[in-house]
Amino acid sequence: MLKVTVLVSGGGTNLQAILDAMDRREIQNAEISAVISNNPNAYALERARLKGIPALCISPKAYKTREEFHKALLKALKDSGADLVVLAGCLVVIPESIIREYKGRMINIHPSLIPSFCGTGYYGLKVHEEALKRGVKVTGATVHFVDEGTDTGPILLQKAVEVRKGDTPEVLQRRVMEEAEWVLLPKAIDMIARKEQ
């Protein structure tokens, strides 16, 4: 059984997509062992608690130095027994020490077709604002392995989403979530879990 630890910063809609896919048995041979957030008010923590999943807040604000925070985060990941770490809307920069520890065992979902609209500063609505500004006709989402760069790791899955006339960043963000992110992330976890069997 693949133990998955999910890192989140906000509402946890991608976490919910994973939980729903597990309920529908679309993800086999995997379980969520913990949900960790840097934000004590993240609704994702409540989603985890409602499912009886350990939910932890490890906030950088609770530590004197960034290094102490990184050590606490790594300890929590190890304590959770994580075989796979999933960044599902995690707005914390993961340090190289943790990336090295989970090399090839950490994935991220990004709301664009990498290499477009990715890298430092491209997160949340900013990605969709930039896509609309550039006038692209197609956007989407990408699941990739995490490496030391920002959105530079090997690509696992991508799904294209049409950009429609009159789209606002908010409308486009919602469509990318529904049509791509919530489909790709559970699929990626299932693919990795099946390889582990």
Active site residues: 110
Strand order in the sheet with 84-87: 55-57, 30-37, 2-8, 84-87, 106-110, 138-145, 155-162
Strands (E), 95-180: 106-110, 138-145, 155-162
Q: Tell me the C-alpha distance between 141 and 182, whole Å.
A: 10
Q: Tell me the C-alpha distance between 50 and 136, whole Å.
A: 39
Instruction: Give the pair of three-digit tokens for residue 81.
Output: 């027994």
- The answer to whether 190 and 107 are in contact (CB under 8 A) is no
